[in-house]
Chains A and B, each alone.
Chain A
């Protein structure tokens, strides 16, 4: 059969660029996003390899050397027990990133599942799930987290669970709205028309197509989760002494604010930089993955 030249020409290029590759191209264009990603990668490397290279122990008390300012031995100074702040921050990166990541993965999984069910099946399933989300969102998130931790008891693990729980409705609503629009797309109808099963449509067509906003929200949510974990640590509801958790370090530094400010500045800076990194990266991802931003 003869083919029109137009149709032939359209496929001349043999290069295959998947949708993810295209998104990466868009992401690279934004310098700020790349800087954000740099910061995030830096802290990830710090968390993974840092503890192997720091010279000082994290929990060894060295009272004669307490509250020393930054020097060549203690790059970021020492705290009230004479512990090296740099080592503690490096170990703290592990805790904070781990908590942020796990909490977000947990809430994204739960939220996606609930959101997909609500969006796809609609009716009473939607009504029940959406009302639960509404109730959860009616509380200020940190208050809800405090409530959850008070029930479970203060510990880093419980703080993580609390943060995961309070973030579920954010993901749930996001996915639900995305599913609502995707399920009207024609490829869902044509998937049905070739005899595909419901759960297969859900997980192999609808889920992958609603992932873009989840990735964006996930990156931004890691930032929030890190802040929330630090806040719970600060309030004494998260990581317990002597764990080198950034929020906990901030809380412990309060009495020495005036005479040893480095005990507060460096953990605070670590929190700020990590959160900034994730936020910049998240914004870049959103621009790269949002179809409306495409030219």
Chain B
């Protein structure tokens, strides 16, 4: 089988916010990559750095106070963190596109859908004729499954439902055939049926156009449905990485286990849904040791004394937990999973 081509390679990314309380790394030493045509999920709760990771890739970290302080983001062998703003603009929308959480506010209320789609094409395809631009916009509208595309082009955002607007946003993102689509919580603001439709659409477009998708979400259900590989983030660090099936069947990091435990399951009647005790540590408060240690039922002395590295536990599975250090394995029973 042909080795899949790497399209985006994030190495040692650190994005720091310089606030009055000091420098806070919102994303700390994060590594991951996306292959051509792959759907990669990033899961984690609010404030774990998923959105900052995506904004870092786009070069849209609000600055000040944010800044990419270390690491590189390789896209087609170019380091995006070192590109000047002018070149970065050519990549945004053209090579890497992004859709956001709130379809209700992601479109300018004063312009018609058509105006905004056409404008998005014009930015990158300056030599296209009006007719070409119009045709492309209508074609994309049809591709994302919007009915009567020509009519919709003349309507204003407030006349569309949330699901339709998110379809428009996806159409807008895909107008210039990007290699990577970053979807930051694309379905969070939508109700469940529309959510399923949008996910199906993303998956379908991924198959058809071979666009790699970086799907950022806090919803494990979304990941299970859509992604091939998944990265679990906690407090700015990657804690576990692996194929979706492996992660769901054999979660290794206690945090991932906790996350999976706290998803409601129709097959078992539970009195109460499991929740991970404690709260996400305030960014910047934990200097040394595992960031999950104080909420972890398996933690031991070493967890608060050293930073755990990512242990390669299988060919395609990595975990940032001392339980998977071969030296510790004898002492701690890592199979202990509370159920």
Q: List residues of A whose CB falls within 8 A of some B CB.
A: 1, 3-4, 6-8, 10-11, 13-14, 16-19, 123, 185-187, 189-197, 204-205, 208-209
Give the CA-CA distance A192 to B55 in the complex, in Å. 11
Shortest beta-carbon distance, B259 to chain A, in Å?
A: 27
Say whether A1 contacts B123, CB under 8 Å.
no
- Contact (A11, B60) CB under 8 Å given A193-B97, A194-B92: no
Task: Give the chain B neighbours of A190 by CB distance below 8 A.
Answer: 98-100, 106-107, 169, 172
Which 5 interchain pairs have the tightest Cβ spacing? A194-B93, A195-B93, A195-B92, A1-B145, A193-B98
- Contact (A3, B145) CB under 8 Å given A186-B106, A190-B106, A209-B109: yes
Say whether B105 contacts A11, CB under 8 Å.
no
Say whether B151 contacts A11, CB under 8 Å.
yes
Say whether A11 contacts B108, CB under 8 Å.
no
Say whether A11 contacts B92, CB under 8 Å.
no
- Contact (A11, B155) CB under 8 Å given A195-B123, A196-B123, A209-B109: yes
Nearest neighbor of B91 in chain A, beta-carbon distance: A195
11 residue pairs bridging A and B, Cβ less than 8 Å apart? A4-B193, A7-B164, A16-B154, A16-B156, A19-B110, A193-B98, A193-B100, A195-B92, A196-B89, A196-B123, A208-B108
Task: Give the chain B neighbours of A192 by CB distance below 8 A.
Answer: 58, 60, 92
Shortest beta-carbon distance, B209 to chain A, in Å?
A: 15
Say whether B151 contacts A4, CB under 8 Å.
no
Apart from the given pairs A4-B194, A189-B60, A190-B99, 19 other A-B contacts in the complex at a CB distance below 8 Å: A4-B197, A6-B161, A7-B194, A10-B164, A11-B148, A11-B152, A11-B159, A14-B151, A16-B156, A17-B156, A19-B158, A186-B106, A187-B108, A191-B108, A192-B60, A193-B58, A193-B173, A208-B111, A209-B109
Give the CA-CA distance A92 to B161 in the complex, in Å. 53
Say whether B154 contacts A209, CB under 8 Å.
no
Say whether A11 contacts B164, CB under 8 Å.
yes
Chain B CB count within 10 A is highest, among A14, A187, A194, A204, for A194
Say whether A195 contacts B159, CB under 8 Å.
no
Task: Give the chain A neighbours of B151 by CB distance below 8 A.
Answer: 11, 14
Shortest beta-carbon distance, A21 to chain B, in Å?
A: 10
Say whether A10 contacts B105, CB under 8 Å.
no
Give the CA-CA distance A208 to B119 in the complex, in Å. 15
Nearest neighbor of B101 in chain A, beta-carbon distance: A186
B90 on the interface (CB 8 Å rule)? yes
Nearest neighbor of B158 in chain A, beta-carbon distance: A19
**Cβ-defined partner of A194 (8 Å) among B102, B163, B173:** B173
- Contact (A11, B160) CB under 8 Å given A193-B58, A195-B93, A205-B108: yes
Shortest beta-carbon distance, B52 to chain A, in Å?
A: 13
Give the CA-CA distance A254 to B93 in the complex, in Å. 69
Among B94-145, those with CB < 8 Å from A are 94, 97-102, 105-112, 119-120, 123-124, 145
Say whether B106 contacts A194, CB under 8 Å.
no
Task: Give the chain B neighbours of A208 by CB distance below 8 A.
Answer: 108, 110-111
Chain B CB count within 10 A is highest, among A11, A16, A193, A197, for A193
Task: Give the chain A neighbours of B169 by CB distance below 8 A.
Answer: 190
- Contact (A195, B89) CB under 8 Å given A3-B145, A4-B163, A19-B110: yes
